[in-house]
Structure formats: C-alpha cells, structure tokens
Structure 1
Amino acid sequence: MASRGRAEIVVHFLTLYQRVTDELGRRIVGGAWEPGEALPVEEVLAAEIGVSRGVLREAVKALVAKGMLRVRPRTGTRVLPPEQWNHLDRDVLRWKQAGDATALLRDTGELRRIVEPEAARLAAERAGPAEVRALYDSLAAMEAAAAEPGRSGYVEADIAFHRALLDAGGNHLLASLGRAVEIALEHSFVVSTQTAGAVEASLPRHRAVVRAVEARDPAAAAAAALAVIEAAEQEIARSPGRPGGAV
C-alpha cells in the first residue's frame, strides 16, 4: 500500500473494461483533455488503447455515471468540468490521489475539520455501550498494530476507528460519507504516519476521543477529535511521504 517515502493506493482490476475506465479516468484527472474538449472519435481511441469499441463504450458509460463525461449526438463525448465530477466516488478519489495528491490531502483535511468534531459531539450524545465498545476495540487494534514490527495494519485500524466514530453518532448520512472517503483517509493516514513519532503520539489523542464519548462530554469529544486532525496536519507537513517531500 505504501512504499518508502510515498503513499500509493493499489487496486487490482478484474476486467478489461475496468482497466480502460481507469486509464481514461487518470487521463481526464491528469488534464489530458480540457473541460468541454471532445475525446478522440471512438474508433481512433479504441485503437490507441488497444481494445474493442464495445469495451471502450462500457468504460465511457462508467465515466458518464461518475459525472466526468457527457455523450451527445453530433457533438461526441466531451469532458465535463471538475465541478460536475462525483468527488466521493472511490475511483475519482484514487485518480486524484495519483494526479494531484497535494490537493487531495488539503481537501481531506478540510473535510475532516468540518465533519469529525461534530461527529464526535454526536457520538458523545448518542453512543450506547456497543458503540463505545467498537471505539475501544478499534483503538486496541491501533495499539496492537503500532507495537508490531513495520506496523502492518495500523492504517487499516486507524480507518476502522474513524468509521466507528462516525457510526457512533447515529447519523446514517455521516456514516455513509465516511465510507465514501475512505480512500482519501487512507492516503492521508499513510502520509501522516511516516513522520517520526507520529504513531506513538496519535494513540493518546485517539484515546481522549473515546474517553470523552464514553463520559458523554460532547464539548470534550469535539475538542479531542479536532486535536487529532490538527496533529495529523502537522505530521503531514513534516512527512517524508508528502507530495514533494524527501524520499
């Protein structure tokens, strides 16, 4: 998932059409075609990629569903502006991670500041014993992974913690939002945890969130969640894995 000094999301494709969708999506995010620009005609583009026109059509349909392309008679297949893309789509997030990792880290941090403190506040107001136990279990998984050589599984445990926090608030829309942006969170956590001492420092901050939720102290829970986010932003700024950072 992460090579030394660099965060990378690895995806295993199952079908040819998925590989073509990925190729076109990366090109669009990378600016190969400007918004409003038409893609090459179907026959030419299919030949260039080395697939049938049928496979290309399926890939185009997938990108239309993600808000990235529009198909119209006589005007062809045109790229839509980023404002119309579904930025919560897992593929779009992954392509942004590959194409403009700095912007994705910024967007993720801003979204976390907006969402997570309020989610922690709701959790402190609404969480029952099962939700509190899920938070403690995910924290224990983080601690266990942190103690392992290489810390394998730490990022996954960290994501599980934040998923449990959003679930604990009892707001299904917030919980779904958290699942939608897990790739963005994964990228952020992979980068932040490469800073020396970041993992060790993060554990007591996460524990403070759980304890505030368990104590039913909404203000303390929100403040603890914000402290986790602010520390992560500082760790990202110093990380050798940040875009443009040392390798």
Structure 2
Amino acid sequence: MASRGRAEIMTKFPTMHQRVVDELGRRIVGGAWGPGDPLPVEDALAAAIGVSRGVLREAVKSLVAKGMLHVRPRTGTRVLPPEHWNHLDPDVLRWKQAEDAAALLRDTGELRRIVEPEAARLAAERAGPEDVRVLYDALAAMEAAAASPGRAGYVEADIVFHRALLDAGGNRLLGSLGRAVEIALQHSFVISTQTPGAVEGSLPGHRAVVEAVEARDPDAAAAAVLAVIEAAGQEIARSPGLPDDDG
C-alpha cells in the first residue's frame, strides 16, 4: 500500500549504528541542517540521539562516505550541498522519498527516459536466449499479479522486468544502475499503478518490449520502452497517490 504517494518501504535496523545513520540522514535531507551548517557538538548530539560518542562517530563516517558530511579538524563536521551527495545510494534514495517524494518522481522519470531506451537497444542487439527468457518470465509474473486479487506482487514483478532489461544488454554498469535505483523505481511504480486502468494498460507495452528484444529490433525495442515510460508519466500525473510538490 502507499500513503501520500510514498511506497511503504519498511526498514528495520539491526544495529544501533544503522539506526543513527538513518536518523542523521533523514535530518540532513529534511533540512534540519542546511548546506555548510555544522552539526551540533559531538557530546550534545550524541546525548540528544541517545547513543555513545563512538556510535555517533561511526555514523558520521558513513555519511561522509555518502557525500553528505565533511569533517575537518578545526571547523568540525559540516553538511555538504546536495550536489555532493551520492543520489544512487539506497539510503539517500529512501530519505529523499520520505522528504521530497515529488522531486524523486521527477528525477526517476527523467533518468528512465535517458537510460532505458538505449538499454533496450543494447538488449535487442546482445540479449541471449536466457536474457529473453528472464524478460518473458517477468512479464508472466506481471500478468499473473495483474489478474490476482489486490494485484499483489505486481510492482515487484515490474521492477524485475526493468532490471532484467538493463541486464540484458550485457553492460555491467547498466545492470548495477538498475539495482541501485530499485527504491526509486518502486516508489514510481507504486504511484503509477494507483491510477485506474494503469496496470492493465501497461501489459501490452511491456510485451512489445520483450518481442522487440527477441526479434533483435533495436529501434522497436527503444520505442516500445519509451512508450511504457511516457505512459507511466501520464499515469503518475493522474494518480490519486501523487504527492504534493512540497513532499
């Protein structure tokens, strides 16, 4: 289910370290500290969160690795501008989803229009029989979910389809990109599939993609996946789950 246009991604934190990383990351993305702002002094921040200074330091190191914080001996720990952040990091995507859902939808749509048509071309040129089988299996799972009560599993099957398409071209960077942006895809698909008729309407387009890949027709594959993306954009615009511009 979704609420206010956000995919309900349940996150459990098995360690205190992960919980503190999440707490600080959400605060940064939410604007509690702006670019260039220093974090509160270590003792005060650790006490406010309820953790030891050691746990806080390790969490800060994780956020430094994500490009969100910068540590210097004299100036302390400061927040970096968003252009420094690793926006393909799953945590950053999750925080962005929670704090600025509309912007994440826009960015995801733009990224898909840039990447997926060319990925489909590569797939049509390079995909082997096993790649085509995986695409057909994902399509079958989508069709089965679409016909099931509540359409359980449809979004997951849709994600598998698009990740398989990125993998099918044999470019490992594209494959890794698909795995990196899975949260963004889930968020987008949850919104688009709330529009009446969207699920049923999307199935022929996905089938056209697979058939073009199987036929080794790069132009048709690119056109088919672009049509799927454009239709999803229209479904998102009409979706009852579309978030407000302020997230």
Q: TM-score, normalised by structure 2?
A: 0.97
Report the 3-state secondary structure (helix = DSSP H, G, I; strand = E; otherwise coil) of the residue aligned with 1:244. Answer: coil
Report the 3-state secondary structure (helix = DSSP H, G, I; strand = E; otherwise coil) of the residue aligned with 1:70. Answer: strand
Q: Return the alpha-carbon distance in structure 1 between the equivalents of residues 146 and 98 of structure 2.
A: 27
Q: Where does residue 221 of structure 2 map in the other structure?
A: 221
Q: Return the alpha-carbon distance in structure 1 between the equivalents of residues 170 and 21 of structure 2.
A: 35
Q: Return the alpha-carbon distance in structure 2 between the equivalents of residues 159 and 58 of structure 1.
A: 33
Shift of 1:244: 2.5
CA contact (8 A) 1:5 1:194 kept: no
Q: Where does residue 146 of structure 1 map in the other structure?
A: 146
2:160 corresponds to 1:160: yes
CA contact (8 A) 2:6 2:187 kept: no
Report the 3-state secondary structure (helix = DSSP H, G, I; strand = E; otherwise coil) of the residue aligned with 2:71. Answer: strand
Q: Return the alpha-carbon distance in structure 1 between the equivalents of residues 191 and 69 of structure 2.
A: 31
Q: Return the alpha-carbon distance in structure 2 between the equivalents of residues 75 and 145 of structure 1.
A: 54
Q: Where does residue 58 of structure 1 map in the other structure?
A: 58
Report the 3-state secondary structure (helix = DSSP H, G, I; strand = E; otherwise coil) of the residue aligned with 2:93. Answer: helix
Can you give the 5+ residue segments of structure 1 that lack an aligned partner in the other structure? none
Q: Where does residue 129 of structure 2 map in the other structure?
A: 129
Shift of 1:6: 4.5
- AA aligned to 1:149 is P
- RMSD over aligned Cα atoms: 1.2
Q: Return the alpha-carbon distance in structure 1 between the equivalents of residues 242 and 23 of structure 2.
A: 24
CA contact (8 A) 2:36 2:79 kept: yes
Can you give the 5+ residue segments of structure 2 that lack an aligned partner in the other structure? none
Report the 3-state secondary structure (helix = DSSP H, G, I; strand = E; otherwise coil) of the residue aligned with 2:244. Answer: coil
Shift of 1:74: 1.4
* 1:152-202 CA distance string (max 9 Å, x none): 111110000001101111111111111110000000001100000100000
CA contact (8 A) 2:36 2:78 kept: yes
1:4–1:80 distance in 2 versus 1, CA, 3 Å: closer
Q: Where does residue 22 of structure 1 map in the other structure?
A: 22
CA contact (8 A) 1:39 1:79 kept: yes
Q: Return the alpha-carbon distance in structure 1 between the equivalents of residues 6 and 17 of structure 2.
A: 28
CA contact (8 A) 2:135 2:161 kept: yes
* 1:48-101 CA distance string (max 9 Å, x none): 111111111111111011000011101110000101000000000000000100
Report the 3-state secondary structure (helix = DSSP H, G, I; strand = E; otherwise coil) of the residue aligned with 2:240. Answer: coil
Q: Where does residue 47 of structure 1 map in the other structure?
A: 47
* 1:119-171 CA distance string (max 9 Å, x none): 00111111111111110000001111111111111111000000110111111
Report the 3-state secondary structure (helix = DSSP H, G, I; strand = E; otherwise coil) of the residue aligned with 1:236. Answer: helix
- AA aligned to 1:63 is L
Shift of 1:103: 0.5
Q: Where does residue 206 of structure 1 map in the other structure?
A: 206
